[in-house]
Amino acid sequence: MRDVGDLKLEKTTITQKDCQECFKQEFIFNGKSDNNAKFIYREYINNTARPSFNQEVQYDLDESSVVGFKGLRLDIIKITNTSIEYKVLQDFE
């Protein structure tokens, strides 16, 4: 367990076995260009990437610090070309 300010962080690993149709979504930070945050969205079934379900998205942070995709809402606190700090407002639907 690690303390970060008022937060206590604990690394947890969850393993799901015997999954017939596991569904996983990823929203991956892909850098910053000017004041635009770039991400890649991916979907997996049974740990296999679904190529037709990969999408690159870009958000203008001059409009809002909140970005969203498929129900996911993130509030961007700090962003550079190589790192991002954010708060999850809402998880995927």
Q: Is residue 42 part of a domain?
A: yes
Residues counted in the chain: 93
What would the pLDDT profile of 15-55 be if each residue is shown by its tens digit? 656 665 678 889 999 999 999 999 999 988 876 766 668 89
* CA–CA dist 93, 85 (Å, integer): 22
Is residue 6 a part of any domain in this protein?
A: no
Residue 7 lies in a domain: no
pTM of the full predicted structure? 0.72
Does 34 fall in a domain? Answer: yes
Do the domain assignments include residue 3? no
- 75 located within any domain: yes
Q: Within a domain: residue 60? A: yes
pLDDT in tens, 53-70: 889 999 999 999 999 999
> CB count, 10 Å around CB of 36?
13
Residues 6 or more apart from 54 whose CB is under 8 A from it?
A: 40, 41, 42, 43
Give the pLDDT confidence score for residue 75 in this predicted structure: 98
50: containing domain: 20-90
Q: How far is CA 75 from the centre of its chain?
A: 11
Within-domain flag for 85: yes
- Structural domains of the chain, count: 1
